[in-house]
Amino acid sequence: MLIVFGSVALDTIRTPTSTLHEVLGGAATFSSISASFFSKTGIIGVVGKDFPDFYHDILNKYVNTDGLNQKSGKTFRYDGEYDITLSTRKTLKTELNVIRDFNPKIPEQYLKSEFVYLANNDPDQNIEIIKNFDNIKLSMCDTVEYWIYTKKYSVIKMIKNSDIATINDEEARLLTKEHNLVKCAKKIIGLGTKYVIIKKGEHGSILFHDDMIFPLAAFPIENIRDPTGAGDCLGGAMMGYLANKHNVSVKTVRDGLVYGNVLGSFVVEGYGVEKLLSLEKIQIEDRIKKYKMMTQRL
């Protein structure tokens, strides 16, 4: 079973075409649902007493929610606004609420898991939680701007302790103070992780490992509604794919990233988790085939 630890949120998302108020979101939500297309997935996270039952039911349909704690207090809230290009998002509000000082109870049956994804979350909590897993074959972490600003050294420590670090381009620049993404990636690898994935939104992603670089174009999408969660879906699907293959060869990691890219391309076609909830495995395989045809050459 893949274990995903991260935020479960009530998101307010303002896009040029629609505004969503307090809808199901959060890194662990997007990534664990994406992972569930490939692997049995268990989620660790925390929500408040205000978390709607039907959101809990949605999660429960896709993933094991034994690790989803409910605490007194309010659920983590995020509020962000996209500009007209849908490529820049301004954070209006981040309310940690129950996520602050969360000390998760980990279900017994999660502890033997070999694949753990530390989705975006407080890096100190991420560092603590991974210590509970004794059989780790592959760990991956993600982070966002908020934690780089508020807990940079914890972010660095978390990356050092993960096999794969994913980060988006602007966050990689913020963390390393470099503009060039190859330089960013080299600095991040230098922190002690084995792989770095730099996520570039509509421009795809780049995987770095040792001296190797694997750039991946994005699957082009004509009607993007809401980019929220695309990076989380990438990470989740990739880890789900790897957990299912039970293999951590470089080739498998690359293949996993292709699946991650493709899951990211689906989620942006709907608002919030909407598209994920109507997605079928056959559509994923179909898009993977299309992507292969698009990108094979020479």
Interface residue list for a second copy (CB under 8 A): 84-86, 179-183, 186, 200, 202-204, 206, 212-224, 254-255, 258, 288, 292, 294-298
Q: How far is the CB of 217 from a second copy (least distance, A)?
A: 3
Q: In this complex, which beta carbon is closest to a second copy, that of residue 89 or of residue 254?
A: 254
Q: How far is the CB of 297 from a second copy (least distance, A)?
A: 5
Name the β-bridge partners of 97: none
Q: How far is the CB of 37 from a second copy (least distance, A)?
A: 17
Q: In this complex, which beta carbon is closest to a second copy, that of residue 63 or of residue 206?
A: 206
Q: In this complex, which beta carbon is closest to a second copy, that of residue 98 or of residue 198?
A: 198
Q: How far is the CB of 79 from a second copy (least distance, A)?
A: 23
Q: How far is the CB of 254 from a second copy (least distance, A)?
A: 5
Q: In this complex, which beta carbon is closest to a second copy, that of residue 77 or of residue 200?
A: 200
Q: In this complex, which beta carbon is closest to a second copy, that of residue 70 or of residue 252?
A: 252
